[in-house]
């Protein structure tokens, strides 16, 4: 059994409520942290090797140490609960079933960073989870773990939940800050980074839900102990939300010692491919990371077994590897059409582009159009090259990473499944007959071909 | 439309979450309140009212209301079916669910039934990929959808509506 430090109490009945949480060792980490100096808490997080769990994988302790501390200026901690990357639903699970784990992590992190007002920015669709979090916050207030002079430390802190209103882009930290200021979610140009100039122009740290929850076990066991879990620089545990054509979709906590093969086929995790089908491909880290065909997914190009670690999933770069990303693990069986799936993702990114940068605003629309043509058997071989060209012109040419996120899935699909794109061109009648895709368009080709 | 006393108090409570002078941050939460109070959509009149409440320019409200997908800028039915159609839901059969709802309610995507009861909308990933296919209905998610489950949901909505009348 893999070691669990986040979901280890998830099975306990009533763990959502303060009394049960407290009885099971809850808020011990807060008590421990408040006996330390804030800088020492940051030091523990550094030692733990914890990396941002939202997708970028940036070392959390380092991010915290960048926070500017000018005299007399408030600092803010913002929890990014805008979970919107297709394939990702792990933060929802944490907040829904273990709200006090997050609140505890937020209190400790707020103390470490000196944030007296801390915000949880949650995607608007998770409306019922807002109630769960607000109840947990109220319980923590009653118990004296929030509010004025927490545990006699002289430190004040309050946590507020802010609901978004439907925008993937608000998961990008500067777009999130804009949204929290009551504006459109248009990402800001960096620098300045939020650590210097963030929410209301004050120094701000934005961290993912799972990252902040992980601060609790880090304080409980100590950063060095936490760093012993996992493999190499992939320390600790990671939540993986598994979905697609598998027998057991759900949220799993792994200690990053598992191989991809074990994760997909063992009964402890995905339980194999549904309906007795074969594994075709997988997008292992949320929709924006490169899709891998089964052979490259299970073994690296060097022929080594691929592991569920940041390093191993990325082994081979984008040529033959992928990324851990957000841990949104999307499995496709042999019946799935990669062109169709890529089209679905391209439509997603077109819909979610904020429209600030031309390469992304125009390019995502073009990719959707060209992919629709191809999927419905109206494409030419040159369209595959055109598609490649468009994604190349988006990548790296935008203010925020949404452009890259839109370009990568298209690039990887062509890289590994070019034959399937060509099949659509060479077998137009069959491609049309399958009547795949986008059921909502009266005539999908009207959209693409005009 | 004007807010009830209770909603006005809620607005003040929301504004108090932010530092002095940063009341504009309340815009997105207050627009949610306004949409709920206005039968599920935001008219220009409602947006102007919100601008007045928060003492900001109407255009600041419009630009936000048009950016976020949860705000409906035209009237919707009593029950809004927001069916996810992104990749992970698609591979679990969301296309079939969308087609079935269209057939069953005899409406297209973005349309409302003649009796004003149902509106069908397709949405992008709602973070329920492991429980696909799914839709949002009001505050909650309906997951693991099948044709039978869609039938039940429609029935339940009709029953609830009849009881409330």
Q: Are residues B83 and B60 in the same domain?
A: no
- Whether B74 is covered by a domain: the verdict is no
- Whether A318 is covered by a domain: the verdict is yes
- Whether B116 is covered by a domain: the verdict is yes
- Whether B71 is covered by a domain: the verdict is no
Q: Do A242 and B28 touch (CB under 8 A)?
A: no
- Whether A12 is covered by a domain: the verdict is no
Q: Are residues A280 and A362 in the same domain?
A: no
Q: Are residues B28 and B90 in the same domain?
A: no
Per-residue tokens: A345: 């993702």
- Whether B142 is covered by a domain: the verdict is yes
Interface test with A, best of B20, B67, B102 (most A CBs within 10 A): B67
Which candidate from B69, B122, B126 shows the least CB-CB separation from A440?
A: B122
- Whether A205 is covered by a domain: the verdict is yes
Residues of chain B in contact with residue A241, where contact means CB-CB under 8 angstroms, are 129-130
Which of A196, A228, A260 finishes a domain? A228
- Whether B70 is covered by a domain: the verdict is no
- Whether A259 is covered by a domain: the verdict is yes
Q: What is the mean pLDDT of residues A244-249?
A: 98
Which candidate from B90, B108, B122 shows the least CB-CB separation from A442?
A: B108
Q: Are residues B59 and B94 in the same domain?
A: no
pLDDT for A444? 46
Domain with residue A290: its CATH number is: 3.10.20.600
- Does the structure show a pLDDT above 60 at A442? no
- Does the structure show a pLDDT above 90 at A443? no
pLDDT for A450? 38
Q: Are residues B44 and B94 in the same domain?
A: no
Residue B21 touches chain A, beta carbons under 8 Å: no
Q: Are residues A247 and A383 in the same domain?
A: no
Q: Are residues A56 and A203 in the same domain?
A: yes
- Does the structure show a pLDDT above 90 at A431? no
Q: Is the CB of residue B44 less than 8 Å from the CB of residue B52?
A: no
pLDDT for A440? 36
Whole-model pTM?
0.96
- pLDDT single digits (tens) A78-93: 999 999 999 999 999 9
A2 pLDDT band, cuts 50/70/90, is confident
Domain with residue B147: its CATH number is: 3.40.30.10
Residue B153 touches chain A, beta carbons under 8 Å: no
- Whether A9 is covered by a domain: the verdict is no
pLDDT for A216? 98
- Does the structure show a pLDDT above 60 at A445? no
Which candidate from B67, B86, B109 shows the least CB-CB separation from A86?
A: B86
* Containing structural domain, residue B140: 79-164
Look at chain B and report how many structural domains it folds into: 2
Q: Are residues B48 and B96 in the same domain?
A: no
Which of A333, A349, A370 finishes a domain? A333
Domain with residue B50: its CATH number is: 1.10.10
Q: Are residues A117 and A165 in the same domain?
A: yes
Distance from CA of A270 to the nearest CA of B (A): 11
* Containing structural domain, residue A281: 237-333
pLDDT for A430? 83
Q: Do A344 and B19 touch (CB under 8 A)?
A: no
pLDDT for A370? 97
Look at chain A and report how many structural domains it folds into: 3
Residue B63 touches chain A, beta carbons under 8 Å: yes
Q: Is the CB of residue B121 less than 8 Å from the CB of residue B136?
A: no
Of chain B residues 108-147, which have a CB less than 8 A from chain A? 108-109, 122-132, 136, 139-140
- Does the structure show a pLDDT above 50 at A447? no
Q: Are residues A317 and A385 in the same domain?
A: no
Q: Are residues A97 and A209 in the same domain?
A: yes
Q: Are residues A288 and A423 in the same domain?
A: no
pLDDT for A434? 65
Q: Are residues A53 and A80 in the same domain?
A: yes
pLDDT per residue rounded down to tens, chain B (165 residues): 899 999 999 999 999 999 999 999 999 999 999 999 999 999 999 999 999 999 999 999 999 999 999 999 999 999 999 999 999 999 999 999 999 999 999 999 999 999 999 999 999 999 999 999 999 999 999 999 999 999 999 999 999 999 987
Residue A85 touches chain B, beta carbons under 8 Å: yes
- Whether B37 is covered by a domain: the verdict is yes
Domain with residue A355: its CATH number is: 1.20.1440.230
- Whether B21 is covered by a domain: the verdict is yes
- pLDDT single digits (tens) A102-147: 999 999 999 999 999 999 999 999 999 999 999 999 999 999 999 9
Residue A117 touches chain B, beta carbons under 8 Å: yes
- Whether A10 is covered by a domain: the verdict is no
Of chain A residues 9-38, which have a CB less than 8 A from chain B? none
- Whether A213 is covered by a domain: the verdict is yes
Domain with residue A23: its CATH number is: 3.40.50.11540
CA A277 from chain centre, in angstroms, equals 28
- Whether B97 is covered by a domain: the verdict is yes
Give me the interface pTM, i.e. the ipTM.
0.97
Q: Are residues B152 and B87 in the same domain?
A: yes
Q: Are residues A207 and A150 in the same domain?
A: yes
Interface test with B, best of A165, A202, A271, A408 (most B CBs within 10 A): A165
Q: Are residues B95 and B148 in the same domain?
A: yes
Q: Are residues A130 and A273 in the same domain?
A: no
Q: What is the mean pLDDT of residues A32-48?
A: 98
pLDDT higher for B2 or A446?
B2
Q: Is the CB of residue A164 less than 8 Å from the CB of residue B28?
A: yes
Of chain A residues 275-294, which have a CB less than 8 A from chain B? 283, 287
Which of B39, B65, B91 finishes a domain? B65
With a pLDDT cut of 70, the percent of chain A lying above it is 96
CA B145 from chain centre, in angstroms, equals 19
pLDDT for B18? 98
Q: Are residues A86 and A171 in the same domain?
A: yes
- Whether A49 is covered by a domain: the verdict is yes
Which of A210, A228, A246 finishes a domain? A228
- pLDDT single digits (tens) A255-267: 999 999 999 999 9
Of chain A residues 126-185, which have a CB less than 8 A from chain B? 126-128, 160, 162-168, 179-185
- Does the structure show a pLDDT above 90 at A56? no
Q: Are residues B56 and B96 in the same domain?
A: no
Q: Are residues A242 and A326 in the same domain?
A: yes
Closest residue in A to B60 (Cα) is A183
């Amino acid at each position: 059994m893999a070691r669990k430090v986040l979901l280890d109490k998830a099975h306990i009945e009533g763990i959502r409520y303060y009394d049960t949480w407290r009885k099971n060792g809850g808020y011990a980490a807060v008590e421990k942290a408040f006996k330390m100096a804030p800088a020492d808490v940051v030091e523990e997080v550094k030692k733990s090797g914890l990396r941002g769990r939202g997708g970028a994988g940036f070392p959390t302790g380092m991010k915290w140490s960048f926070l500017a501390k000018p005299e007399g200026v408030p600092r803010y901690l913002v929890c990014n609960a805008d979970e919107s990357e297709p394939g990702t639903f792990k933060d929802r699970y944490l907040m829904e079933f273990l709200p006090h784990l997050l609140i505890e992590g937020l209190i400790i992190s707020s103390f470490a960073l000196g944030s007296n007002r801390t915000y949880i920015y949650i995607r608007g669709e998770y409306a019922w989870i807002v109630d769960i979090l607000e109840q947990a916050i109220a319980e923590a207030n009653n118990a004296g773990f929030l509010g004025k002079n927490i545990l006699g430390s002289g430190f004040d802190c309050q946590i507020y939940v802010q609901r978004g209103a439907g925008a993937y882009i608000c998961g990008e930290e500067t777009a999130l800050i804009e949204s929290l200021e009551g504006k459109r979610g248009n990402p800001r140009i960096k620098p300045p980074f939020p650590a210097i100039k963030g929410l209301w122009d004050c120094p701000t740290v934005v961290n993912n839900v799972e990252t902040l929850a992980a601060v609790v076990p880090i304080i409980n066991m100590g950063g060095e102990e936490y760093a012993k879990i996992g493999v190499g620089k992939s320390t600790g545990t990671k939540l993986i939300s598994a979905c697609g054509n598998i027998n057991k979709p759900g949220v799993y906590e792994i200690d990053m010692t598992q191989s991809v093969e074990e994760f997909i086929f063992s009964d402890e995790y995905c339980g194999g491919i549904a309906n007795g089908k074969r594994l075709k491909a997988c997008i292992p880290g949320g929709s924006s990371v490169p899709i891998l065909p089964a052979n490259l997914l299970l073994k690296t190009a060097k022929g080594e077994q691929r592991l569920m670690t940041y390093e191993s999933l990325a082994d081979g770069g984008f040529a033959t590897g992928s990324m851990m990303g957000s841990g949104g693990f999307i499995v496709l069986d042999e019946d799935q059409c990669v062109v169709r799936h890529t089209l679905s993702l391209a439509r997603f990114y077109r819909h979610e582009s904020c429209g600030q940068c031309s390469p992304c605003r125009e390019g995502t629309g073009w990719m959707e159009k060209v992919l629709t043509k191809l999927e419905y058997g109206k494409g030419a071989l040159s369209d595959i090259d055109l598609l490649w060209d468009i994604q190349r012109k988006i990548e790296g040419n935008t203010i925020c990473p949404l452009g890259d996120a839109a370009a990568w899935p298209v690039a990887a699909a062509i890289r590994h499944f070019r034959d399937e794109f060509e099949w659509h061109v060479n077998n137009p009648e069959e491609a049309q007959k399958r009547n795949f895709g986008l059921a909502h368009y009266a005539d999908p080709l009207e959209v693409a071909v005009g | 439309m004007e807010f009830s006393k209770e909603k006005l108090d809620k607005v003040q409570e929301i504004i108090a979450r932010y530092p002095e002078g940063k009341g504009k941050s309340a815009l997105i939460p207050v627009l949610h309140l306004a949409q709920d109070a206005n039968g599920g959509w935001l008219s220009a009149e409602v947006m102007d009212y919100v601008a007045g409440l928060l003492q900001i320019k109407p255009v600041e409200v419009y630009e936000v209301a048009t950016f976020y997908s949860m705000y409906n800028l035209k009237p919707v039915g009593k029950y809004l079916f927001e069916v996810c159609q992104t990749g992970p839901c698609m591979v679990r059969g969301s296309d079939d669910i969308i087609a079935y709802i269209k057939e069953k309610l005899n409406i297209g995507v973005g349309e409302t039934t003649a009796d004003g009861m149902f509106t069908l909308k397709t949405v992008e990933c709602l973070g329920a990929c492991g429980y696909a296919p799914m839709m949002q209905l009001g505050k909650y998610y309906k997951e693991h959808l099948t044709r039978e489950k869609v039938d039940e949901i429609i029935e339940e909505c009709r029953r609830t509506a009849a009881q409330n009348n």
